[in-house]
Structure 1
Amino acid sequence: MIYVAAARMNFRVSYVHSLKEKRSIVNSIKAKVKNRFNVSVIEAEELDNHKSIVLGLSAVSSSKDIAAETIKKVADFILSNFDIELIQEETYIDNM
């Protein structure tokens, strides 16, 4: 069976003062996450709000536990490597 895990993560970056600075942080997060994990990641919402970053993540696996764990590892990686605060996280796992 194939499992798909999708997550929506809302982060606050209160120290950011411009969209250009926010874009730099988002691009760095996306590059490092894609390089380290086998996941898809996009900036999904709040594109014009420089204090908020909303990322969409997805992972595919043959194991429900591995799919869920991958999303958790990505969130932990982001929080430990960037000066960023997780405000809200929603994770969905479905089988195909």
Structure 2
Amino acid sequence: MVIGTGRVLLKLHGVKSLKEKRKIVKSITGRIKNSFNASVAEVGLNDIHERAEIGFSLTGNDQSMINSVIDKIFNKIDAAGLAEIIETDFEIFTY
């Protein structure tokens, strides 16, 4: 079993309220869930309207496939153009 986890730190431009932030975060997390069948949530910076921290996890049986999907998730977030990616990190665990 292979488990991949990732975290993305985002800068939200022009966002002036937590309501606007939630709309963007919901859109990003929904796209990831629908496209990659991953578990996704906002995991930090909940009260700061200019930043968002999103975490996700995946399971599978092939490490290279999990690594590829993680890269695709990062690319999809970037391509959406809803926020600027400040930082990304990920880990892959094999059991």
TM-score by length of 1: 0.93
Letter aligned with residue 71 of structure 1: I
Query: How high is the sequence identity, in percent, across the aligned residues?
Result: 31
Question: Pairwise CA RMSD of aligned residues?
Answer: 0.9
Matched with 1:53 is: 52
SS of 2:3 mapped into structure 1: strand
Letter aligned with residue 84 of structure 1: A
Q: Which runs of 5+ in 1 are unaligned?
A: none
Matched with 2:74 is: 75
Q: Which runs of 5+ in 2 are unaligned?
A: none
Matched with 1:43 is: 42
Count matched residues: 95
Matched with 2:22 is: 23
Poorly superposed stretches of 4+, deviation over 2 Å: none
Take 1:85 and 1:31, find their aligned partners in 2: how far apart are those partners? 17
TM-score by length of 2: 0.94
Matched with 1:93 is: 92
